[in-house]
Amino acid sequence: MCGISGFFYRDASRPIETHVLESMTQKMVHRGPDDAGFYHSKGGAFGHRRLTIIDLSGGKQPMSSSDGESILVTNGEIYNYKELKKEYLSHIDFESSSDTEVLLYMLKLKDNEAISLLNGMFAFAYWDRGNNKVILARDPVGQKPLFYYFGEKSFVFASELSSLAAHPETPMDIDRESLARYLIFEGYPHPFSPLKGVRKLQPGYFMELDLTNWEIYEYRYWNCIPENSEGYGVSASDYLGEFSEIFSNAVERHLRSDVEVGVFLSAGLDSPSLVKAASAIRGGGEVKTFTIKHEIASFDESAYAASVARYFGTKHHEKTLRAEEFLDDAKYLLSNIDEPIADPGFLAIYQVSKFSREHVKVILSGNGGDEFFAGYTPFHALYAYKWAHRLLPEPVVHVLRKLASLPRSGHEYMNAMFKVQRFLRGVSSPPAELLMQWVGSFNFEELEKVLNEKIEDNQLMVKCRKIPYLYKELYEEDSRLKGADLISTLLHAFQQFFLPVCICNHSDKASMRVSQELRSPFLDMEMMRFANQLPPKMKYHNGHTKYMLRNYLQDDSPGDVARRPKQGFTVPIASWLTSSLKDWADDILDPVQLKKDGFFCSAEVRRMWREHQEGKANHAKPLWTILVFQNWLHEVWSSWRTN
């Protein structure tokens, strides 16, 4: 786990500013406090910060091949490096036992064809000096970040925007078009970023920079989508047996480390599944588990997590998250985030990462379990949506929305009125829009109210063939499914948007802030392929989410764990905005400052703020999304402009 940075100049004779390279790399010291490395040659430069996990004494980066013609910087882990080394590279005399050196020689041997053979989480840059090109790639679901700027004179890349911003040629203007997307997706969907001209390499893609002709080319190498299969002739027990084997192998690969590995433990299904598999591999007494306890009952699941820990005999650790302690951490985290991300789970992951980092350097997370095995609450609503979407005319839906918004929504976790209001937002929408109608902070119509009129007047607010321009990526991905069932449609949307934009993004940022490597066995390549080949009935069945995981935990697990409902790993933002976070948020949402900044309609923002404070509605999601952006604007972006 590391941070990477670098740049290339179109004019290869241009001197390399080593102080710029050092500054870019130093910005990511939290990603790799154990070591730093630099490389520069004619026309280009690489920088690296390292968090040592595998081969603690070797594996230093940037890493060069024995002939000096290939140079690599990488962030993440290649979990199948031992298998690749044995199958393809037995003829190489390795200087280390690191996965980095395996990746270097795989790329040297197979060029970009090596990328599809990798099983891991990664973002890397590979300089092929012999062919005068650079290959950059990201893992299939974006567990590791990679930002870049490609201009007339320079190409700059880094793991973080803060690092990219340290290069003087990186543009600093706010991208107003991508702001609207942020408000919908609660993060910046790929390839967009907060800065105009700065892009994110998309998950499951690699890019080639042709240094001779100064051109870039992007290619998609990962194409794993849910199959609309009924699975005739295959029994549930057969599927379960296959799942158990693949899952165990995935967990074993993710446990490979030269430092201690722990497990995040909540009361859902994902993390108990990880604990069960890890305990079978290493023994429960060798597994360390970590849980955050909430003071607010509707958010607290520590008692259930503790019962799982007792059953498997893990070395369990628990910490209570108190509101008064949270404010300072929230301010620190949001003021050091390189791009706005509004999913409050970001703050929860940070808390458990900070706590567990006192004990372990690597942690296993259940990321991906919901997105590949149908774990989220919206899957319960699909049957009702199927009939309501067909039978209810839009005027009736409009009246129902109005009625649903009248009662007080409350600030408890996923209360009934909140669910009703969310369902009605999407009931008349096409399947392609369902995800963001149900889980997004704003929908298309709400954007028109909250955005400054100078922003909402542009092309973003135009509908093309009755499709809002801002939703076109949703429709493009939906078209790849070719008439799939509703479960597969929603799964694909979660995998393509919510997983990389929110879940993987906030997990990387939160864990890296405390120099911890977070690994996700459910996002193992073999695991994802298997999950997307399962028929829908093995994911959502008879009203039960994560049907496969419930079957897996039915035996050799605490009695009630397989029957537990879904509970998101988050924090009580709605309540805290009326208490411990109230003064902080009120200052950020100052109407004078909002008008001066010019991004939001201050009157609409203050209306939502008043209603939330008075308990008339739960506006936590949209308010928090705006708060995160405004704080980033003044605490982070403004500092880049003055440096």
| Cβ neighbours around 358 below 10 Å, total | 10
Instruction: Say yes or no to pLDDT of 523 above 70.
Output: yes
C-alpha 350/C-alpha 518 separation (Å) is 11
The owner of tokens 């537990």 is 564
Buried b (16+ CB within 10 A) or exposed e, 95-130: eebbbbbbbbbbbbeeebebbebbbbbbbbbbbbbe
Which of the pair, 403 or 459, is modelled with greater confidence?
A: 403
SS (H, E, C) 134-197: EEEEECCCCCCCCEEEECCCEEEEECCHHHHCCCCCCCCCECHHHHHHHHHHCCCCCCCCCECC
Residues 120-165: pLDDT tens digits? Answer: 999 999 999 999 999 999 999 999 999 999 999 999 999 999 999 9
| pLDDT attached to residue 61 | 96
Residues shown for the chain = 643
Sign of CA dihedral 330, 331, 337, 342: positive
Instruction: Say yes or no to pLDDT of 570 above 80.
Output: no
| pLDDT attached to residue 560 | 75
Instruction: Say yes or no to pLDDT of 229 above 80.
Output: no
| pLDDT attached to residue 621 | 92
Residues 279-327: pLDDT tens digits? Answer: 999 998 999 999 988 766 666 778 888 999 999 999 999 988 776 777 7
Residues 6+ apart with CB under 8 A from 403: none
Residues 437-475: pLDDT tens digits? Answer: 898 898 888 888 899 876 654 555 555 556 677 888 899
Residues 6+ apart with CB under 8 A from 161: 147, 193, 194, 195, 198, 338, 339
| pLDDT attached to residue 408 | 53
Q: Give how far the C-alpha of residue 575 lies from the chain's centroid of Cα atoms, to the nearest Å.
A: 25
Q: In angstroms, what is the C-alpha Rg of the chain?
A: 24
Residues 33-75: pLDDT tens digits? Answer: 999 999 999 999 999 999 999 888 888 999 999 999 999 999 9
The first and second tokens of residue 56, run together, are 């603690």
Question: Average of pLDDT values for 396-402?
Answer: 74
Q: Cα-Cα-Cα-Cα dihedral of 358, 368, 519, 344, to 10°?
A: -40
Question: Model pTM?
Answer: 0.94
C-alpha 3/C-alpha 121 separation (Å) is 13
- φ, ψ dihedrals at 195, nearest 5°: -105, 135
Total H helices, total E strands in the chain: 28, 19
Q: Which of 273-277, 378-382, 452-456 has the lowest mean pLDDT?
A: 452-456
User: Before 62, cis peptide (omega within 30)?
Assistant: yes
Would you put residue 466 in left (φ > 0), alpha (ψ -120 to 50) or beta?
A: left
Closest CA to 205 of 324, 122, 85: 122
Instruction: Say yes or no to pLDDT of 232 above 60.
Output: yes
User: What is the dotted CATH code of the domain comprising 236-324+348-374+489-493+513-563?
Assistant: 3.40.50.620
C-alpha 150/C-alpha 443 separation (Å) is 32
C-alpha 613/C-alpha 170 separation (Å) is 40
Instruction: Say yes or no to pLDDT of 490 above 90.
Output: yes
Model confidence band, residue 643 (pLDDT cutoffs 50, 70, 90): low
Would you put residue 53 in left (φ > 0), alpha (ψ -120 to 50) or beta?
A: alpha
351 DSSP β-pair partners: none
How far lies 595's CA from each of 416, 601, 606, 637, in Å?
A: 35, 7, 12, 18
Q: Which CATH superfamily is domain 2-220 in?
A: Aminohydrolase, N-terminal nucleophile (Ntn) domain (3.60.20.10)
Residues 6+ apart with CB under 8 A from 87: none
Residue pair 503/367 in contact by the 8 Å Cβ criterion: yes
| pLDDT attached to residue 492 | 95
DSSP-based three-state secondary structure for 444: helix
Question: Average of pLDDT values for 86-99?
Answer: 94
- φ, ψ dihedrals at 213, nearest 5°: -100, -5
Intrachain domains 2-220 and 236-324+348-374+489-493+513-563 with the same fold: no
The first and second tokens of residue 605, run together, are 């923002």
What distance separates the 2 farthest-apart alpha carbons in the chain?
Answer: 72
The first and second tokens of residue 610, run together, are 């008043």
All structural domains of the chain with their residue ranges: 2-220, 236-324+348-374+489-493+513-563, 384-481+573-642
Q: Where are the beta strands (DSSP E) in 237-344?
A: 261-264, 288-294, 315-321
C-alpha 292/C-alpha 300 separation (Å) is 8
